Structure 1
Amino acid sequence: MKREHNYPIGTPGTPWGDEEKAQWLAQTTIKRSYQEEVVRKINALENDFDITQYGALSYDEEKYPLFAIKTRHWDSNKPIVLVTGGVHGYETSGVHGALTFAEAKAAQYSEQFNIVVAPCVSPWGYEVINRWNPNTVDPNRAFYADSPSEEAASLMAMVDSLGGEVLVHIDLHETTDTDELEFRPAREARDGKLFIEDGVPDGFYTVGDSENPQPEFQKAIIDSVRKVTHIAPPDADGNIIGSPVQQEGVINYPLKALSLCNGITACTYGTTTEVYPDSERATPEQCNDAQVAAITGALDYVIKQLG
């Protein structure tokens, strides 16, 4: 039987007001350094890529600049590939998988594509290891006009400035045990709803677009990742996180309707990756490598389609 859970902030059934949001913010703490763990790695790539700052978060503009890593010799005749990580800052392999791809693999795909990598869309979230920003807004539900999320608005403006159509968008995420232990309970409390536990899938999966599912593209990603780590099985109802499994390791969401990051472009090929870092069968290095394998599997597939 699935348990119910009451979050320690707020009154069950009543949406949070300013007092509860301030109480939530007051209990967050800095746990790691964006400057040391992320910005330093971005700067180390400046000899091989164009590093552009596309914004800064008003919470602390000096501490939280926003960066994009772009392949050089940008050519308007090449299709654009967008890789995003750290939209949810607490999802570590999304950030470091994006950085690893930029460092180790991006150059070899630059003949076919213009590539832009935004490795850490939510640096405050990275430091406090949280899904939300300081205003209790989930950036990955806020990719729409006049967004309440600075993180989402800044990324959308950067993508608009690229001056071309994005063909491929790969958004790197994780599904963690804390989704059930902390973040879903907090969300339901914030919204005045009852939290009923679900479960966390053990393994890698992708989220495609229900309006443009591209099943062969998703399969290519799964087949690439399975060489690195295991693929998430469906639960007893044939679902992963409550959504029907379309094929091994693949579910679909209405990305634009949900204002998700992977819905910000009209790309032909889009996917959201989901790594499970809390698995006994996966190490942090494997999680990063799985993200890289997802990107390379996706790009290898698209190159074949373009050929």
Structure 2
Amino acid sequence: MTTVPDQYPDGYPIGTPGVPWTTTERERWRARVDAPKRSYADDVLAKLDALKTSSHGDRFEVVKYGALPYDASDPDRYALFACVSREWSKDKPSVLVTGGVHGYETSGVQGAIAFLETAAGNYLDVFNVLVAPCVSPWGYERIQRWNAFAVDPNRSFDRAVAYDPPSPESAALLALVDSMELGAQNEWMAHFDLHETTDSDEAEFRPAKAARDGETNAPDVVPNGFYCVGDAENSRFDFQAAVIRSVAKVTHIAPPDASGNIIGEPITQEGVIEYPLKALGLCASITGAKYTTTTEVYPDSPTASDEECNSAQVAAVTGGLDYIIAKEGLMGAMGR
């Protein structure tokens, strides 16, 4: 576990302690963070363009599924793209991979792209595959957890709720998922939602959230290593274990704290905690898939390179898919 110093000992610099933010404070927050620190076009879109001419290009189609309304001068600056397997069939089970729901979590984005570049093609004879590698490009450019309205997209995946302020990132992804034609009992087989837990969670984003919501921030520790979050209402013990085994070949798994918890939740097995995904409006709930996991890579370890973090995300997906193939009797479709 890593203890991160409080960078706001005198309180978060926006808002009044104990008073939830109004539109005024949200606008002040946006002004504070609104300078881009990296390029969505260079880091993401250029790689998706390159994918079209790669060895996988004939098996995936890059499709636009929306655009975020954050740049009036250029409505397509934050256009949203996904990769869809060209041979989409109602006879195959379907798999969703999402990255960058929290834009600042770099390996969620780059790990999803690395999966497309290196491994996804190996599974297309078995599965329909849909990959949305950067759900929150505005947040990606600013290295922010929230969207431009100071809303957390990963608490906004609820089809029954009208959000104010809104999460256009979540709405666009929900519409994309709902538009897909499914077979195999009209269900998704799996959803891998790729995330990170960083030191900045404790240093910046938890203090900001407490200030936004008019609450008191309770300092915690940051898990030192990879872990994943399963669905408390759909526990898949062996599936989560397979993900952990695969990732452990690439990077270290987070140990629990002295209370047996990771981020305040009791572990159900090594490197695994559970949340009620749907009740919290989390991205991993949107398909109702048989197998779901939210990955959490730790990029701030002194031993973790960018390549290692991206490879850990790929290992999580491939380890989970290999387990599903064996468990669901799909070996024949793989030619194994």
TM-score (norm 2): 0.89
What stretches of structure 2 of length at least 5 have no aligned partner? 330-336
Equivalent residue in structure 2 for 1:11, among 7, 13, 16: 16
**CA distance in structure 1 between the partners assigned to 2:235 and 2:178 by the alignment:** 23
Q: Which SS does the other structure have where 2:171 is aligned?
A: helix
Q: Secondary structure at the match of 2:29?
A: helix
Match of 2:107 among 68, 71, 93: 93
Q: Is it true that 1:292 corresponds to 2:314 in the alignment?
A: yes
Aligned 1:92-171 pairs, distance under 5 A: 92-145=106-159, 146-147=162-163, 148-164=166-182, 165-171=187-193
2:41 is the counterpart of 1:23: no
CA distance in 2, matches of 1:193, 1:143: 23
Give the one of 205, 214, 218 matched to 1:192. 214
Question: 1:71 and 1:45 mapped to 2: Cα distance?
Answer: 12
Partner of 1:33: 39
How far apart are residue 281 of structure 1 and its match?
2.0
- What CA distance in whole angstroms lies between the structure 2 residues aligned with 1:219 and 1:55? 35
SS state at 1:9 partner: coil
2:68 to 54, 57, 60: 57
In structure 1, stretches of 5+ residues that fail to align are none
Name the count of aligned residue pairs: 307
Residues 1-58 of structure 1 show CA distances to partners (whole Å, capped at 9, x for unaligned) of 9979521111110111111111111111210000011000011112411111000001
Q: Which residue of 2 aligns with 1:239?
A: 261
User: Residue type matched to 1:159 in 2?
Assistant: V
**Residues 146-201 of structure 1: CA deviation (Å, up to 9, x unaligned):** 34200000000000011222110000000000000000100010000000101100
Q: 1:206 aligns with which of 191, 212, 228?
A: 228
Question: Is the 1:174–1:277 Cα contact (8 Å) retained in structure 2?
Answer: yes
Partners of 2:17 and 2:275 in 1: CA distance: 29
The question of 1:221 aligning with 2:243 is answered yes
Secondary structure of 1:195's partner? coil
Deviation at 1:85, TM superposition (A): 0.1
Scaled by the length of structure 1, the TM-score of the pair is 0.98
Provide the secondary structure at the position in 2 that maps to 1:273.
Answer: strand
Cα distance in 1 between the residues matched to 2:190 and 2:86 = 18
Given candidates 257, 261, 278, the residue that maps to 2:279 is: 257
CA shift, 1:306, in A, is 1.7
Secondary structure of residue in 2 paired with 1:45: helix
Which residue identity lines up with residue 242 of structure 1 in the other structure? G
> Which amino acid is the alignment partner of residue 123 of structure 2?
Y
What is the CA-CA distance between 1:69 and the residue it aligns to? 0.4
Query: C-alpha displacement at 1:232, in angstroms?
Result: 0.1
What is the aligned-residue identity percentage? 59
CA deviations 1:192-238 (Å, max 9, x no partner) are 00001011000000000000010100000000000000000000110
Following the alignment from structure 1 to structure 2, what is the Cα–Cα distance between the partners of residues 256 and 186? 24
SS in 2 for 1:294: helix
Q: Alpha-carbon deviations, 1:237-261, whole Å to 9, x = none?
A: 1000000010000000000000000
Question: In 2, are the aligned partners of 1:71 and 1:106 still within 8 Å (CA)?
Answer: no
Aligned with 1:196: secondary structure? Answer: coil
Provide the aligned C-alpha RMSD in A: 1.3
Structure 1 residue 62, shift from structure 2 partner: 1.6
Quick one: which amino acid aligns to residue 47 of structure 2?
K
Is 2:93 the counterpart of 1:74?
Answer: no
Q: Distance in 2 between matches of 1:79 and 1:55?
A: 25
Q: Which residue of 1 aligns with 2:332?
A: none
Partners in 2 of 1:211 and 1:144 — Cα distance? 16
Report if the CA contact (8 A) 1:55-1:66 is conserved.
yes
Map of 2:51 onto structure 1:
45
The one-letter code of the counterpart of 2:18 is G
